[in-house]
Structure 1
């Protein structure tokens, strides 16, 4: 039995050698969409990201202390001038107003009585029925009663105002941008509880490094683009620059007014402001051709002869709609992949959907 084992192994090896080798699998050639890099009209300059803000934003606060009774708006609510935003519990202020009014009513009665008495004593003095000293005393009493009535009239008006101040109203038309209170919360007089932005006038707030301040001030008309509608360009005007740098970032805050905003401009949108932009011939590619590796923008460059792709780092300039200006890394005439860039590998064989022109 042991002698048969070498013979069995030999027969197995001979059988294996007689089998045909498996056919080689065809190489995977991925079809890709690409474009040829060429000269284009691109913008040269620096862009700063910012946020669309209202030109005027008002901090709202109650003028009296109290417990919030009702809240009638939410963030984003559009309000008219005079519209009630919130109310405080008015009970204590209503009681104080009624008490002040009652004191005023009593004082006015005393004032009328004192004036009537004074008139009678003037007539008695004319008939020498009383002395001049008595008349002077009556006149002083009447003047004191009149002064007391005026004082309590002012106090009653103040208490009525205090009661009216339990209603927080919009000083102008606009949209609510912040609310920091809830019903039942006790708020202090003068404590900011909401913010109201005036609609119609917008600006973009950006932070600029100190080495760009001169360029910013010299820019005649900075252009503004919204990320939501990148193909649309808005004219801007520098309104103000902070006189001091931020202690942490060492940048200067600037506000750029939008000259002619349209319905697409909304508060809180992300925007970019171009400073020193000039149109000039340059290279550009579709933004879909770009991808990042460790934060570095790259593109897939196609070798039409070898039919392979290779990753190449590029330096990107301004973005204009769906196009991106290329500062360095590419030359005119090269082919770059514009779709499916995240599914490729370096050295992978590809086939251009649109073959290069001879």
Structure 2
């Protein structure tokens, strides 16, 4: 076997060249994202609340005595006047009670008359020494008792007469019937609500407020009220009432907004209304788009870009109230920090990113905040 010694130098050069190349460098993916610089703005974000038009005063009426409904005199939506009959109970039972009371008054009056005659006869006999003083005192006491029983019987009869008048339910104010809870033939208890009347006059919007906006709503001087049926019109509203406790189900606070200078022909009861609370000056807040928020295991986080290394890291934040497509950041972010707004679900902690369109995104957010 021949050895080609001339080829050995060439093989050595090739081997030396292969050893000098080293390991290939690993490729690091740089993901393009959009981001904005977090900036503070004077004032809090305005908020809109949905509600319905209601009357400030509403009467839930019921009979003052129990009985069977004999007649319903109004319909749902009927306009009523003060003193107008709304329902009637069957008066037969109350009439029998009054008749019995009249008989009791007559009997008590007869007993009182007889006691008065007995006293007069005893007084005449006492003057002629045919009766004792004890008999006179006893007859006088019997007369006093009979007269007291007569007064009690008369009072009882008057009460039953009044109760007979309770079989007619009348409206206590001018307004409109908004609810009917009983029909003819139904037996109702005393005090049970059977008709609801919304009074004419002031109109309000009933809304629910989250606990994070209570203080802000109290500071608003003028609210804007609009209705779905007339989107081109607005009215001024004022906070009149705020519940001291939350609702057991929604955990929100009920509020009543009084509408000023409203037109009753336009704002009808039950209409869907919106109450807008404008921005409140005097506070400094950070606002970011909703697309920047990452929700993981109940934690609200954002991706923050390190300007030196262009790497991202998750930062937990405390959020305030949302408006449109933005949300307030109450804590967790500092002014000037770069926050990723697009591509947040494709990132990993420590990943390098390339910020694209940062200036454009920031200008769009500024324009949205100026609305």
Task: Specify if TM > 0.5.
Answer: yes
**How big is each residue's C-alpha offset from its partner over 1:13-42, in whole Å with a ceiling of 9 and x where there is no partner?**
xxxxxxxxxxxxxxxxxxxxxxxxxxxxxx
Which whole-Å deviations, capped at 9, do the CAs of 1:127-164 have from their partners, x for residues lacking one?
43321101101101101110110111111112112211
1:54 maps to what in 2?
A: 55
Aligned ranges 1:126-165 → 2 under 5 Å:
126-165=127-166
Alignment RMSD: 2.5
Alpha carbons 1:223, 1:236 under 8 Å: kept: yes
1:173-224 Cα shifts (integer Å, max 9, x gaps):
2111100111111111121112111111111000111111111110112121
User: Is 1:216 aligned with 2:217?
Assistant: yes
Structure 2 CA distance for aligned equivalents of residues 111 and 56 of structure 1: 51
Q: Is 2:73 the counterpart of 1:72?
A: yes
CA distance in 2, matches of 1:157, 1:170: 23
The 5 Å alignment of 1:1-358 reads: 45-263=46-264, 264-277=266-279
Q: Please give the secondary structure, in 1, of the residue aligned with 2:185.
A: coil
| Distance in 1 between residues matched to 2:106 and 2:184, nearest whole Å | 36
| Larger CA Rg, structure 1 vs 2 | 2
Whether the 8 Å contact between 1:66 and 1:188 is mirrored in structure 2 is yes
Q: CA distance change for structure 1 residues 76 and 238 in 2, over 3 Å: closer, same or farther? A: same
Question: Does the residue aligned with 1:243 lie in a helix, a strand or coil?
Answer: strand
SS in 1 for 2:232: coil
| Contact 1:65–1:188, Cα closer than 8 Å, also in 2 | yes
CA pair 331-259 structure 1, distance change in 2 beyond 3 A = closer
C-alpha distance in 2, partners of 1:115/1:276? 82
- Are the equivalent residues in 2 in contact too, given 1:71–1:85 (CA < 8 A)? yes
Inter-partner Cα distance in structure 1 for 2:274 and 2:124: 86
- Alignment check: 8 A CA contact 1:215 1:276 kept: no
Change (3 A) 1:69 1:249: same
Deviation at 1:250, TM superposition (A): 2.0
Contact 2:69 2:184 in 1 (8 A): yes
In 2, Cα distance between the equivalents of 1:328 and 1:77? Answer: 52
Q: 1:186 to 1:124 in 2, by over 3 A?
A: same
SS in 1 for 2:245: coil
Q: CA deviation at 1:46?
A: 1.3
What residue number does 1:346 align with? none
Query: Are residues 143 and 237 of structure 1, via their aligned partners in 2, closer, same or farther at CA, if it must alter by over 3 Å?
Result: same
Q: Specify whether residues 272 and 129 from structure 1 end up closer, same or farther in structure 2 by C-alpha distance, changes over 3 A only.
A: same
Which residues of structure 1 form unaligned runs of 5+?
A: 1-43, 280-314, 318-326, 333-358
Distance 2:82 2:120 in 1: 51
**Matched residues in 2 for 1:116 and 1:142: separation?**
9
Dislocated runs of 4+, deviation >4 Å: 327-332
Q: 1:47 & 1:193 partners in 2: Cα distance?
A: 35
CA contact (8 A) 2:216 2:280 kept: no
Q: How many residues end up aligned between the 2 structures?
A: 246
Counterpart secondary structure, 1:242: strand
